[in-house]
């Protein structure tokens, strides 16, 4: 049996290590080692509840808007604040801009270099030899690698029109967003969106399908358990209904054939630390029950990533999970399906933003003067670019006394538990490594999940393997 | 003019092949500029922060930054975490994070605070070094080109401040000082430069500056938003 370790896994947000065991060139075991020393949760205790929105955005410069959404929702829940429809539209538009920026950037800057031979200049030079595209198509996508940089920037520009800046926008807040939309801003955002949508339709989608056509084996690689979960996003509008996805879970039947979609129920959510470097009052708990403390004495543990579970099962989250749950894409659940779903979802989000922008009324002021309560609890659950994100907070004496965050990448890059591997670990099992010296298959499969291990640091302790920790 | 040798998030190579590029540079006589994003974790001899593996061993950020910092022609700390620890060092600073200068005490470290740093602040600094070999800095090693003037001095809402007209809620068009605006202590050109295609900035979005480009951010700049200070006393 041979062992392969890849560290750093580049072209992701943050740092990660993957270790796999290989027999006869086939992966038989895998450990994804990611962070999760949730330092951010510790840092939030004692701070003003209203600081949570700008504070948690700093968990990561990639998905900052996502954390602004979840923290605002958690505060609204705790303060019993009803958000107006216009406030919801405005906030969701800003959130959607981040989806567009993230998806375009992940596809071109992070995924494309795995499949497309880019100009041999730093930092794009690579040594592997599994490039299969005909010259003409290769050139088209390679050119779009550079064109896409401008387009993903336009998505941040659109976010900034009402959000002030991106990343770490100032717009999203309790009640919706801070500023009122004015006609000039609405038309500016529409104009930017149109340019982005044209690029998605005319370049990004054809490019994604071209890669899929020349790497068809990746439709058979990277399958995980098949359980899918979403907290819902762009949904439950009073007049518009659900434009994307409601909180749903798809669970594969015990015999492995088919499965069933049910509404998501927060009561079934737990986190497990059997294989993570933590100790707590118990090893399995609901999000508001306890927080854990770092502890590396558990010999079974190999990662700072905890294991979120739903009904004790691991679930996949993200664009493919969402499109499968709504029935809009059901070709398969492979690595290539994940990559295609991301491109298809970019179009979907741009179309949803068109509807939301058309539904905006100008000059609607949604802000109030808020007061922190003596005691309160709240949760904010929402699907974001990479999948299901949850924030849970408690307030005592007007300051934060408890904060729990479960990120999408914690779902996809969780450790194993007693019965199951983590979702991404399972996805690499059975993978045939063509050349042990250039295991390109592993990076391609891992990147199909769009891992966000940002703010990540690696931790090393004598007697333990190197791991990746993400400081939240 | 430039060659970007190592960038974890952009580079095509991965694993030790990626780290190899860093090592090749260190072992060559080529001149290079080191730009560091993120704080340096110091706990456990830096073992809390490993950027990859080299010859089977973990390479810490602490070790890499010292090794590269000693040889670099210029050193730029990009963003609040690199300039002074930033959010990574927020109380109770679980990883023992510090800014780059702390581990390179004898080196000139050009500091570009901000969370995030404006792309122009970085590219302008880099271009200045490449084209003219230097950039004029203030006493705290920030380029004067970008960091010379407080936001308050150039704030388009200064007239409201002078007249004592203060916003009580986010979203209002008057002076945001009493909501906790840190414009008076934060030195950047945000009011004139603006962000993301130069379309807007936090005060333009009717929210206070939270001092993200001031040393001491976040702890010395919090609370970010205070509804209480608008109370009549």
Mean pLDDT score, A87-105: 98
**Predicted local distance difference test score (pLDDT) of residue A461:** 26
Contact between residue A145 and residue A203 where contact means Cβ atoms under 8 Å apart: no
Query: Is B3 among the domain residues?
Result: no
pLDDT per position as a tens digit, B134-157: 999 999 999 999 999 999 999 999
Which tokens in the block code for residue A374?
């003596």
Give residue-wise pLDDT tens across range A177-189: 999 999 999 999 9
Domain count for chain A: 1
- In B72-131, the residues whose Cβ lies within 8 Å of chain A are 86-88, 90-92, 94-95, 115-116
Interface of A with B in 337-396 (CB under 8 A): 365-371
SS3 per-residue string spanning chain A: CEEEEECCCCCCEECCEEEEEEECCEEEEEEEECCCCCHHHHHHCCCCHHHHHHHHHCCCCCCHHHHHHHHHHHHHHHHCCCCCHHHHHHHHHHHHHHHHHHHHHHHHHHHHHHHCCCCCCCCCCCCCCCCCCCHHHHHHHHHHHHHHHHHHHHHHHHHHHHHCCCCCCCCEECCEECCCCCHHHHHHHHHHHHHHHHHHHHHHHHHHHHHHHHCHHHHCCCCCCCCEEECCECCCECCCECCCECCEEEEECCCCCCEEEEECCHHHEEEECCCECEECCCCEECCCCCCCEECCCCCCCCECCCEEEECCECCECCHHHHHHHHCCCCCCCCHHHHHHHHHHHHHHHHHHHHHHHHHCCCCCCCCCCCCCCCEEEEEEEEEECCEEEEEEEEEECCEEEEEEEECHHHHHCCCCCCCCCCHHHHHHCCCECCCCCCCHHHHHHHHHCCCEECCEEEECCCCCCCEEEECC
A122 vs B4, B9, B90: nearest CB: B4
Total domains in chain B come to 2
User: Which range (A85-94, A118-127, A386-395) has the least confidence?
Assistant: A118-127
The tokens for B76 are 């730029």
Taking the CA of residue B101 and the nearest CA in chain A, the distance in Å comes to: 19
pLDDT tens per residue, range B180-222: 999 999 999 999 999 999 999 999 999 999 999 999 999 999 9
Q: Please determine, for residue B164, whether its predicted confidence score (pLDDT) is greater than 70.
A: yes
Structural domain contains residue B8: no
Cα-only R_g, chain B: 20
Residues B215, B172: one domain? Answer: yes
Rounded mean pLDDT, A204-214: 98
Confidence label for A454 from pLDDT (cuts 50, 70 and 90): low
Is the pLDDT reported for residue B42 higher than 90? no
Interface contact flag, A8 B15, Cβ < 8 Å? yes
The CATH number covering residue B138 comes to 3.40.50.700
Sort out which chain A residues have CB atoms less than 8 A from B49's CB and list them.
457-458
The b/e string for A159-183 (b: 16+ C-beta within 10 A; e otherwise) is bbbbbbbbbbbbbbbbbbbbbbbee
Q: Which of B12, B14, B50 has its CB closest to that of A458?
A: B50
Confirm or reject contact between B53 and chain A (CB < 8 A).
yes
Task: Name the packing angle between helices A335-359 and A440-448 (round to 10°).
Answer: 30
Answer whether B212 sits within 8 Å of A163, measured CB to CB.
Answer: no
Q: Indicate if B61 and B173 belong to the same structural domain.
A: no
**CATH for B188:** 4.10.480.10
Domain span holding position A421: 2-470
Q: Do B48 and A160 touch (CB under 8 A)?
A: no
Which residues from B are below 8 Å from A159, CB to CB? 196
In DSSP notation, B8-73 reads: TTT-S--THHHHHHHHHHHTS----EEEEES-EE-GGGGTT-EEEEETTEEEEHHHHHHHHHHH-S
Residues from chain B that touch A6, judged by Cβ atoms under 8 A, are 14-15
C-alpha pair distances (Å), A405 with each of A44, A211, A285: 11, 35, 13
> What ipTM was predicted for this assembly?
0.96
The pLDDT of residue B231 is above 60: no
Region of poorest pLDDT, from A99-108, A160-169, A262-271, B12-21: B12-21
Task: Tell me if A55 and B224 make a contact (CB, 8 A cut-off).
Answer: yes
Measured in angstroms, the CA of B15 and the nearest CA of chain A are apart by 4
What percent of chain A is modeled with pLDDT above 70?
A: 95
Which residues, numbered 184 to 213 in chain B, qualify as contacts with chain A under a Cβ-Cβ cut-off of 8 Å? Answer: 195-197, 199-207, 210, 212
Q: Is B28 on the interface with A (CB under 8 A)?
A: no
Token readout for A371 is 């007061």
Percent of all residues in chain A with a pLDDT value above 90, rounded to a whole number: 81
Q: Are B175 and B189 in a shared domain?
A: yes
B2 located within any domain? no
Question: B5 in a domain, yes or no?
Answer: no
- Average pLDDT for A138-156: 98
Tell me, yes or no, whether B139 and B29 share the same domain.
Answer: yes
Chain A hits for B10, Cβ within 8 Å: 10-11, 109, 123-124
Contact B9 A123 (CB under 8 A): no
Residue of chain B nearest A171, judged by CA positions: B205
Residues of A in contact with B173 (CB under 8 A): none
Q: How far apart are CA A298 and CA A283, in angstroms?
A: 12
Lowest mean pLDDT of A112-121, A443-452, A458-467, name the range.
Answer: A458-467
Does A458 have pLDDT greater than 60? Answer: no
Tell if the CB–CB gap between B115 and A365 is shorter than 8 Å. no
Average pLDDT over residues B55-81: 93
Flag whether B224 is in a domain.
yes
Which stretch, A14-23, A121-130, B70-79, has highest mean pLDDT? B70-79
Please identify, among B105, B131, B146, the residue that sits at the C-terminal boundary of a domain: B146
State how far the Cα of A448 lies from the Cα of A440, in Å rounded to an integer. Answer: 13
A208: domain CATH number? Answer: 1.10.645.10
Q: Which of residues 131-190 of B touch A (CB under 8 A)?
A: 168-172
Q: Are A261 and A325 in contact (CB under 8 A)?
A: yes
Contact A260, A253 (CB under 8 A): yes
> Which residues of A, range 443-472, sit inside 8 Å of B by Cβ?
443, 455, 457-461, 466, 469, 471
Name the residue in chain B with its Cα closest to that of A108. B10
Same domain? For B125 and B160 the reply is: no
Closest partner residue to B168 among A39, A61, A369, by Cβ?
A369
Min CA distance, A81 vs chain B (Å)?
15
pLDDT the model gives residue B229? 64
C-alpha–C-alpha distance, residues A157 and B13, integer Å:
30
Domain with B137, as residue range(s), is 16-146
Contacts of A432 (CB under 8 A, 6+ apart): A25, A26, A441
pLDDT tens for each residue of B18-32: 999 889 988 999 899
Residues on chain A touching B40 (C-beta within 8 angstroms): none
**B111 and B20 fall within a common domain:** yes
Q: Domain for residue B171, yes or no?
A: yes
Tokens 């007249």 label which residue?
B163
Which chain B residues are closer than 8 Å to A162 by Cβ?
Answer: 200, 205
What does DSSP assign to residue B132? Answer: H
Whether B7 is in a domain gets the answer no
What's CA A239's distance to the chain center, in Å? Answer: 28
User: Is there a domain that residue B10 lies in?
Assistant: no
* Residues facing A443 on adjacent strands: none
Q: For B17, which of A127, A168, A178 is closest by C-beta distance?
A: A127
Chain A and chain B share a number of CB contacts under 8 A equal to 212
Closest CA to A144 of A213, A215, A203: A203
- Tens digits of per-residue pLDDT, A326-380? 999 999 999 999 999 999 999 999 999 999 999 999 999 999 999 999 999 999 9
């Amino acid at each position: 049996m041979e062992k392969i370790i890849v560290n750093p896994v580049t072209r992701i947000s943050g740092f990660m290590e993957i270790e796999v065991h290989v027999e006869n060139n086939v992966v038989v075991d895998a450990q994804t080692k990611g962070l999760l020393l949730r330092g951010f949760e510790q840092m939030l205790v004692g701070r003003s509840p209203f600081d949570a929105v700008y504070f948690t955005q700093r968990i990561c410069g990639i998905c900052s808007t996502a954390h602004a959404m979840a923290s605002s929702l958690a505060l609204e829940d705790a303060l019993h604040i009803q958000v107006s429809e216009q406030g919801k539209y405005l906030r969701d538009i800003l959130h959607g801009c981040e989806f567009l920026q993230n998806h375009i950037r992940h596809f071109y800057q992070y995924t494309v270099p795995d499949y497309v031979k880019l100009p041999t200049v730093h930092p794009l030079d690579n040594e592997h030899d599994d490039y299969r595209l005909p010259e003409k198509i290769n050139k088209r996508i390679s050119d779009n690698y550079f064109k896409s940089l401008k387009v993903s920037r336009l998505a941040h520009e659109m976010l900034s029109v009402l959000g002030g800046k991106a990343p770490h926008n100032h717009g999203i807040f309790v009640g919706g967003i801070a500023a009122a939309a004015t006609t000039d801003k609405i038309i500016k955002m529409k104009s930017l969106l149109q340019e982005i949508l044209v690029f998605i339709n005319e370049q990004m989608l054809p490019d994604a399908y071209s890669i899929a056509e020349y790497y068809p084996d990746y439709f058979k690689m990277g399958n995980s358990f098949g359980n899918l979960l979403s907290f819902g996003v762009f949904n439950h509008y009073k007049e518009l209904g659900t434009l994307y996805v409601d909180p749903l879970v798809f669970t594969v039947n015990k015999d492995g054939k088919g499965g069933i979609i049910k509404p998501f129920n927060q009561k079934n959510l737990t986190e497990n630390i059997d294989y993570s470097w933590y100790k707590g009052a118990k090893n399995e708990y609901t999000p508001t029950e306890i927080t854990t403390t770092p502890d590396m004495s558990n010999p079974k543990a190999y990662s700072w990533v905890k294991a979120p579970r739903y009904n004790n099962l691991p679930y996949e989250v993200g664009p493919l999970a969402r499109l499968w749950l709504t029935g809009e894409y059901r070709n398969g659940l492979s690595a290539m399906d994940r990559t295609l779903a991301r491109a298809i979802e970019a179009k979907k989000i741009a179309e949803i933003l068109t509807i939301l922008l058309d539904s905006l009324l100008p000059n609607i002021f949604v802000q109030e003067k808020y007061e922190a309560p003596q005691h309160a609890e709240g949760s904010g659950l929402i699907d974001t670019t990479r999948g299901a994100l949850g924030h849970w907070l408690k307030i005592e004496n007007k300051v934060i006394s408890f904060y729990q965050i479960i990120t999408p990448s914690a779902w996809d890059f969780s450790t194993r538990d007693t019965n199951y591997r983590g979702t991404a670990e399972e996805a690499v099992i059975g993978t045939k490594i063509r050349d042990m010296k250039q295991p390109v298959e592993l990076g391609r499969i891992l990147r199909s999940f769009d891992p966000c291990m940002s703010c990540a640091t690696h931790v090393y302790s004598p007697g333990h393997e190197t791991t990746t920790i993400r400081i939240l | 003019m430039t060659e970007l040798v190592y960038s974890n998030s952009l580079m095509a190579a991965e694993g030790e092949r990626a780290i190899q590029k860093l090592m090749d540079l260190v072992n060559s006589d080529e001149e290079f500029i080191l730009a560091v994003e993120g704080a340096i974790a110091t706990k456990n001899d830096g073992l809390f922060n490993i950027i990859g593996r080299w010859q089977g061993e973990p390479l810490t950020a602490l070790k890499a930054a010292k090794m590269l910092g000693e040889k670099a022609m210029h050193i730029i700390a990009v963003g609040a975490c690199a300039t002074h620890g930033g959010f990574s060092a927020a109380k109770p600073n679980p990883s023992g994070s510090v800014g780059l200068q702390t581990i390179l005490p004898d080196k000139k470290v050009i500091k570009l605070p901000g969370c995030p740093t404006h792309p122009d602040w970085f590219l302008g600094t880099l271009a200045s070094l490449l084209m003219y070999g230097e950039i004029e800095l203030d006493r705290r090693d920030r380029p004067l080109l970008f960091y010379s003037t407080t936001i308050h001095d150039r704030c388009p809402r200064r007239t409201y401040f002078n007249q004592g007209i203060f916003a009580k809620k986010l979203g209002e068009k008057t002076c945001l000082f009493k909501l906790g605006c840190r414009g008076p202590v934060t030195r950047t050109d945000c009011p004139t430069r603006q962000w993301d295609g130069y379309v807007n900035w936090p005060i333009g979005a009717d929210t206070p500056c939270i001092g993200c480009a001031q040393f001491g951010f976040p702890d010395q700049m919090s609370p970010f938003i205070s509804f209480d200070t608008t109370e009549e006393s």
